Structures are given as C-alpha cells and as structure tokens.
Amino acid sequence: MAPAIPEEIQNTNLLRLAIPKGRMFAGVERLLEDAGISLRTSARDYRPFIAGGLIEAKILKPQNLIEMLDLGTRDIGFAGADWVQELDTDIVELLDTGLDQVRMVVAAPRRILENGELPNRTLTVASEYVQLTEAWQERAGRQDKFVKSFGSTEVFPPEDADYIIDIAATGATLTANNLVVVEELNVSSTRLYASRKAMADSSKAKRITDFCLVLEAVIEARGRVMLEANVPTDRMEAVMAIFPAMKQPTISTLSDRAGYAVKAAVKKSIVLELIPALKQAGASDIIITNLAKVVK
C-alpha cells in the first residue's frame, strides 16, 4: 500500500516538476531554457528556482523520480523510457523529447557466440535491469544466472559474467570492452511523464497540456529552419513544385511586383539538396534562419 501524500503537498497549486539527475540533466535543462523556463541552481542545490512561481522543480535520481510520479508527489517529470519500463509503474507518457536516445541490447564477447548467438547452456548475465532481464530470458527460453550491476555493466565480461543486458548509445563503450551486440531489445530516450493523480485533476491536466505544447514547439523547431526566397513571376510554378512547407508556404508580392517572396519552415534534413534545386528552378536571394518554436 502506497504511503499517504502529505496534506501540504496535496493542496499546492504549483505544477510539481521532477528533473533527472545525471546524464539526462543537461539535455532537459537546455530544452526548458529554449522553452523560456530558466533553471537557476548551484552544484548542491536540488531545488532549482524557476521564475514566475507557477512551477516548483526538484532534481531527483531517475529511478526515484519515476517512483514519485507513481506515488503522485510529483506531477510531471522527465525520465528514460528504459527505467519506466523496468520499474513497471502506472504513469502517463506525454512526450518523447528524442533526447539521449539509447538502445537496450544484449551484448557478449564474440568468442563465446555460436553462429552469432549465445550458446545453449547456462550462462551468467549482468545487468542493472532486473525486470527487463527476467522478461527477456523468459521470451528467449533461457534460465541464466543473474548478477545485479550498479553501473559500468560492460566491464563484467568475461571474468564476472558471460554477457550483459544494458543500454548503448554509439556502441563505442561496448567495442572498447570487446563486446558485440547479440540482440537489440528496444530504443529508449528521455520522455516527459505525468502522474495519474495530476492528470485526473482537470486544472492541472490543462496546465500540463499547455506545458507539453510549448515543449513540442521547441522540439519541432529544432528539426526545422525558416527558408525564404525571391521568385520571379514566370518561375513561380517551377519553384512551387519543389518548395516544401508544413502546410502551405507564405507568399507575398515583391515591392517592384516583378515576383514573389516565398517562405516556409522546412526540415533541416532536406536543406542540402533543396537549395541547389531551388536555384535551378529560378529562386534567388535565399535566406535560411533558425527557429525558436514551431506550433503546428
């Protein structure tokens, strides 16, 4: 049975935000900063100040953060999807920020593999993730011995474990420890979650939705730039055939009425190919600027 939530916490009108300590902190801090939510904190301060008085923030270890959301003492918080899945809590996923993307993998020294797979005998697996490891072993039909790690799981093989289940970003750490990926289980990233209790409160749910809207606008803007170009009247058809836009580009008449100014928020990933194509189609005076927020 979950402990009772103190009355002074239940009655607060503040939106109680939990921020993860460790590797996710810098990305979350930058996201909030770009959303206009500036954190002011010192190295030992776990309660950063947020101007405006509408949000009360607290820095917690990811595992504790998730448990506090489940309990309801925190309304919203950022956490890795891997730990949410591991702890099997009843919280609401609101937004995938795409930050700190990692893969959950089974990895082992190449020399123990048989045809690229783990041998069909009892082995020892090391992992921080007890529940996820047990679930994977059940699916794989394995009954290996389990060693609980507390960080630096990749150093266990070959002396202290035969293989590991852990997160990997670039794979460089696995390679440095002579491990290869046997199987990829899932992909995790930093996500925004809410407590069931907060979402059941209509007033708080509205504020949480608004909070998500602002963060989504920042995330969307990070993947786009504003592209502007001047287009002669006789080249409009050719340019518009290739000019991308979220919905429709903005078009205005140039002062000399010899053409049009066209602009739209376009994906950064296509800019390298798009600019030469626009030039060839007849566009000129192309300007590209970064965006702060994009609301669809």
Q: Checking DSSP bridges between strand 163-168 and strand 124-127, what pairing results, if any? A: parallel
Tell me which residue of 231, 259, 257 sits closest to 243, measured CA to CA: 231
Q: So what's the pLDDT on residue 292?
A: 85
Contact 258, 233 (CB under 8 A): yes
CATH label, 7-98+191-221, candidates 3.40.1440.10, 3.40.50.740, 2.40.50.140, 3.40.190.10: 3.40.190.10
Which is more confident, 38 or 260? 260
Amino acid type, 294: V
Neighbours of 157 (CB within 10 A): 22
pLDDT reported for residue 18? 93
In sequence order, which ranges of 96-166 are alpha helices (DSSP H)? 130-140
Two domains, one topology: 7-98+191-221 and 102-188:
yes
Beta bridge partners of 284: 230
Q: How far apart are the first and last CA of the chain?
A: 43
Give residue 295's pLDDT. Answer: 79
Give pLDDT, residue 5.
41
User: Of all residues in the chain, what percent are helix, strand and coil, respectively (each to 5)?
Assistant: 35, 35, 30
Average pLDDT rounded to a whole number, residues 179-193: 94
What are the pLDDT digits (tens) for 222-259?
Answer: 999 999 999 999 999 999 999 987 788 899 999 878 89
Give the three-state DSSP class for 234.
helix
For residue 104, what are the contacts with CB-CB under 8 A and spacing of at least 6?
A: 82, 129, 132, 165, 166, 167, 184, 185, 186, 187, 188
Report whether 261 contacts 285 (CB < 8 A).
no
In this prediction, residues 177-201 reach a mean pLDDT of 94
Task: Assign 1 a pLDDT band (cuts: 50, 70, 90).
Answer: very low
* Percent of the chain residues topping a pLDDT of 70: 93
Compute CA 124 distance to the chain's CA centroid, rounded to the nearest angstrom.
32
pLDDT of residue 8: 41
CATH number listed for the domain at residues 102-188: 3.40.190.10
Res. 44 pLDDT band, cuts 50 70 90: low
What does the domain layout of the chain look like in residue ranges? 7-98+191-221, 102-188, 224-290
pLDDT band at 195 (very low <50, low <70, confident <90, very high): very high
- Confidence band, pLDDT 50/70/90 cuts, at residue 36: confident
Mean pLDDT across the chain: 89
| Tens-place pLDDT, residues 84-133 | 999 989 999 999 999 999 999 999 999 999 998 999 999 999 999 999 99
pLDDT digits (tens, 9 = 90+) for 54-82: 788 899 999 999 999 999 999 999 999 99
CATH classification of 224-290 is 3.30.565.10, yes or no? no
* Dist CA 286 CA 166 (whole Å): 46
pLDDT, residue 68, reads 95
Neighbours of 197 (CB within 10 A): 18
Q: Which one-letter amino acid corresponds to residue 251?
A: I
